Amino acid sequence: MAVNGHIVRDRIPLSTTPSALQVTHERQDTYRIHVTADPHKALQAILDELDGRRAAVITERTVAALPPYDDLTRTLQQHGLLLGTIAVPPGERSKTLDTAYLLLDWLSQLDLARRDVIIALGGGMIIDTVGWVASAYMRGVPYINVPTTLLAQVDAAIGGKVAVDHNSAKNLVGAFHQPRAVISCLTHLDTLDTRQTSAGLAEAVKKAVIASPEYFDFIETHADDLLHHRLPATETLVRAAGAIKSQLVGRDPYENDLRRPLNFGHTVGHAVETTTGYGPVLHGEAVAYGMVIAADISRARGLLDPATADRITHLLTALNLPVRLHQLRAEPPIDDVLAALGKIRQIRDGSLRFVLPLELGTTLIVDDVTEDEVRAALLRTTADDLPAGRP
């Protein structure tokens, strides 16, 4: 009999096994990271990745007032691919379930279908929020990241960790949902202020310390160019960050193993952000300070050569990042930082995880750093007379 359609035939045997049924599903995600200094090439890459699909563009108001937004929406319109655009208020305060709900509402009114694509245009706030919305809407629709901050280009746009914040904790409501593509255009950084640039560089230094001495040398040699987004250094920086992060994430995309070197600097970093109320101290700044503390604990234990610890501190200083307590925009009391760490320790059954560098490219992940060790390291960043060679 001739049929017009798609036949699906199965003969699944009757299962009579009394034991538990084991179910295994594997999932493979593949995507491209494009890095270019040419806005036309970036737009072409977006069109190529869309491959004829329609797109809904989600951004925030600061970015909506910048040229990349007009260029993108105009191009999509010209190709008849623009489903709609929306801009939410800027800043970490928008990374909430309320914003996500508003976006889900908007998508449903837009009739976004599963084969359409969401484009996240903005910094890490937009990328994280939109990625989570994309993971939830219709159980997952594709999204393309077009990161517009250096932090998002070297970090947040890659890896598929998506989340919004909850009153009780940052990134509490989230998922793993890989983007369909990442398109980083370096000219988008032209309007970024210098503090945001430094914060982005902190996440690049993190990758260098944990995974690539060569990358560390590169950032050291080109610090000034990188602070000013000069080419070709910035292009190399962003490209290499994509390669390093995707390799590290690829080993454990769903974070089954929580012993992750990518958390270097984030233990104390998060405590600083919590005690200062997520705002005055940028994430990258808190991480920079956290890296100094972790390196110092490692040095104090005799695990890290003092010269390497100094090298890390010097590089962060050269990148205008805080390495001393008073250099943080809001100086948190040491006891408050320790209390915040104590809370994490409590949640984690008494252990606090630290990523300690042993040398560039090698880390040791430990659970036994004591409060006294952290206090001593924090105090050393308040001392007036630092050892020679330290900023």
Residue with tokens 């630092």: 386
Options 6, 11, 139, 326, the catalytic residue: 139
For residues 276 and 168, the answer to whether their CB atoms sit within 8 Å is no
Residue of the chain from 177, 180, 188, 206 that contacts ligand NAD (CB under 6 A): 188
User: Nearest to ligand NAD by Cβ — which residue?
Assistant: 124
Q: Based on CB atoms, which residue is closest to ligand NAD, 126 or 244?
A: 126
Q: Is residue 214 annotated as part of the catalytic site, yes or no? A: no
**How far apart (Å, rounded) are the C-alpha atoms in residues 248 and 259?**
12
Residue with tokens 């045997």: 13
Q: Based on CB atoms, which residue is closest to ligand NAD, 159 or 261?
A: 159
- Which residues, in sequence order, are CB contacts of 234 under 8 Å at separation 6+? 37, 186, 189, 225, 226
Q: How far is the CB of 320 from ligand NAD (least distance, A)?
A: 15
Residue of the chain from 72, 112, 120, 124 that contacts ligand NAD (CB under 6 A): 124
- DSSP bridge pairs for 86: 58
Q: Is 148 in the site for ligand NAD (CB under 6 A)?
A: yes
Q: Is residue 245 annotated as part of the catalytic site, yes or no? A: yes
Phi-psi region of 124 (alpha: psi -120 to 50; beta: other; left: phi over 0): alpha
Options 54, 145, 180, 203, the catalytic residue: 203
**How far apart (Å, rounded) are the C-alpha atoms in residues 296 and 129?**
34
Q: Is 305 in the site for ligand NAD (CB under 6 A)?
A: no
Cis peptide before 232 (omega within 30 of 0): yes
Considering only residues 234-293, where is the footprint of ligand NAD by CB under 6 A? 283
Q: For 197, how many CA atoms within 13 A lie in the half-sphere containing its CB? A: 21
Q: Is residue 171 annotated as part of the catalytic site, yes or no? A: no
Q: How far is the CB of 174 from ligand NAD (least distance, A)?
A: 8
- DSSP bridge pairs for 185: 36
Q: How far is the CB of 187 from ligand NAD (least distance, A)?
A: 9
Size of the site for ligand NAD (CB under 6 A): 29
Of 176-184, 185-193, 330-338, 354-362, the window that binds ligand NAD (rule: CB under 6 A) is: 185-193
Q: Is residue 203 annotated as part of the catalytic site, yes or no? A: yes
Considering only residues 197-236, where is the footprint of ligand NAD by CB under 6 A? 199
Q: How far is the CB of 297 from ligand NAD (least distance, A)?
A: 23
Residue of the chain from 49, 116, 128, 310 that contacts ligand NAD (CB under 6 A): 128
Q: Is residue 32 annotated as part of the catalytic site, yes or no? A: no
**How far apart (Å, rounded) are the C-alpha atoms in residues 383 and 380?**
5
Run of H or E residues at 118? strand 117-122
- Look up residue 127 and give its two tokens: 């990328």
Q: Is residue 34 annotated as part of the catalytic site, yes or no? A: no
**How far apart (Å, rounded) are the C-alpha atoms in residues 354 and 344?**
12
Q: Is residue 373 annotated as part of the catalytic site, yes or no? A: no
Q: Please give the angle made by the CA atoms of 288, 293 and 295, to the nearest 5 degrees.
A: 95
Q: Is 178 in the site for ligand NAD (CB under 6 A)?
A: no
Q: Is 357 in the site for ligand NAD (CB under 6 A)?
A: no
Q: Is residue 359 annotated as part of the catalytic site, yes or no? A: no
Through-space distance between the first and last CA atoms of the chain, rounded to whole angstroms: 83
- CB atoms under 10 Å from CB of 80, counted, come to 8
Q: Is residue 255 annotated as part of the catalytic site, yes or no? A: yes
Of 60-68, 216-224, 236-244, 267-275, the window that binds ligand NAD (rule: CB under 6 A) is: 60-68
Q: Is 156 in the site for ligand NAD (CB under 6 A)?
A: yes
Give the three-class secondary structure for 366. strand
Q: Is residue 256 annotated as part of the catalytic site, yes or no? A: no
Of 20-28, 118-126, 357-365, 369-377, the window that binds ligand NAD (rule: CB under 6 A) is: 118-126
Options 74, 93, 228, 255, the catalytic residue: 255
| Chain centre distance of CA 82 | 27
For residues 120 and 180, the answer to whether their CB atoms sit within 8 Å is no
Residue of the chain from 88, 119, 125, 352 that contacts ligand NAD (CB under 6 A): 125
CA distances from 53 to 70, 75, 285 (A): 19, 14, 39
Residue of the chain from 50, 59, 122, 274 that contacts ligand NAD (CB under 6 A): 122
Residues lying near ligand NAD in the complex (CB under 6 A) are found at: 60, 62-63, 66, 90-92, 95, 122-126, 128, 148-149, 151-152, 155-156, 159, 161, 171, 188, 191-192, 196, 199, 283
Residues recognised as catalytic:
139, 161, 203, 245, 255, 259, 263, 266, 270, 283
